[in-house]
Amino acid sequence: MLEEADFELPKVILTALEILHIGLRLVNFTYERINRIAEDSTTNVDRFRKHYGVDHFVAAQMFEDLQITEIEEARLDENKISIKYYLIAMHFVKVYDVEGRREPIFDLSPKTMREWVWYYVEKIQNLKHEKIVWPDDYLADDVWIASVDTTDCPIEEKTHPTLSQDSELFSFKINGAGLRCEYAIDLFSSRIIWMNGPFLPGVYNDNTIFAEKGLKEKLAAIGKKVLGDKIYNGHPEECSTFNALDTKPVKIMKARIQMRHEQFNNMVKSFNVMKHAFRHKPNKIEKHKMCFEAVTVICCYRMEHGEPLFDLLAGL
């Protein structure tokens, strides 16, 4: 049974259940409503996920890791460890509502929320140095190691002096202004081994990003390949694509690889900061990069804790 005093817990390392209760109270669920749910019900967990984008187990693990990580840029300052502000930052990337609607929920001024949100988003972002790492455990005969693709995220249309749209920001994928992010996903496990961006979609297509922004060079250096769609044609030593010579089993496998990659893209877009038009100024691209990388880190935690991508070989 949750007690009123539990909301202001003195501990820093909290259990998942404590974080579940604190998170629900923070968005104004009453103690009576929380305690009305049976212990074996998933209702409170579903409520938590809708506001924070993860379940309470993932939230607890991330909060602990932010305190104990050896990555200095990601480790929380001792005087800034706050479960409240951590959850407000998680709510920001999940819900991405305007400050005027978040202010009465959290009873904080927009300025205070803004300062704490960006502090915690940057700390989560810097966990990338632990979570997005190039694998070193492949066998010598593993030639294809990952899938590659980009996802475009909408941003507010930039005011142009003469045109209705800024051509550098225009994305044909979303039919509007956006930023393009590149991912490489391990074929053998649910982990991201490469992320890059964001890039201007009107300047860099998928192939150009692959060829000029580091991934092709990395693959050439280690003698490995990725799998991509037809836009990546032209790099046979580093990227395999669909072609007319593929046998039926190969075509099926490549299609499943694309579906699996899209599964991850959809996980990223389940966070509204990546799904809805990004509006934050100044330094919009820099702030979008912070959110893009922080959301990717959060998705890595989700895959590690109960939400893996589907197995490519399952059912074959």
pLDDT confidence of residue 2: 44
CA dist., res. 111 & res. 16, Å (int): 29
Stretch 222-237: mean pLDDT: 94
Residue 290 predicted with pLDDT over 50: yes
Q: Tokens at residue 200, please?
A: 């201007």
Q: How far is CA 28 from the centre of its chain?
A: 26
Greater model confidence, 314 or 105: 105
The pLDDT of residue 136 is above 60: yes
71, 122 contact by CB (below 8 A): no
* pLDDT tens for each residue of 19-35: 999 999 999 999 999 99
Contact between 80 and 117 under an 8 Å Cβ cutoff? The reply is: no
Residue 54 has pLDDT above 90, yes or no: yes
As a whole number, the mean pLDDT across the chain is 91
Q: How far is CA 283 from the centre of its chain?
A: 20
Tell which phi-psi region holds residue 96, choosing left (phi > 0), alpha (psi between -120 and 50) or beta.
left
pLDDT score for 3: 47
Which pLDDT value is given to residue 7? 47
The per-residue pLDDT for range 57-115, each reduced to its tens digit, is: 999 999 999 999 999 999 999 999 999 999 999 999 999 999 999 999 999 999 999 99
SS3 148: strand
Beta bridge partners of 196: 182
| Chain mean position to CA 300 | 7
CB of 266 closer than 8 Å to CB of 303: no
Q: Is residue 5 very low, low, confident or very high in pLDDT (cuts 50, 70, 90)?
A: very low
The string of DSSP letters for 67-119 reads HH-S-TTTSPPGGG--HHHHHHHHHHHHH---HHHHHHHHT--HHHHHHHHHH
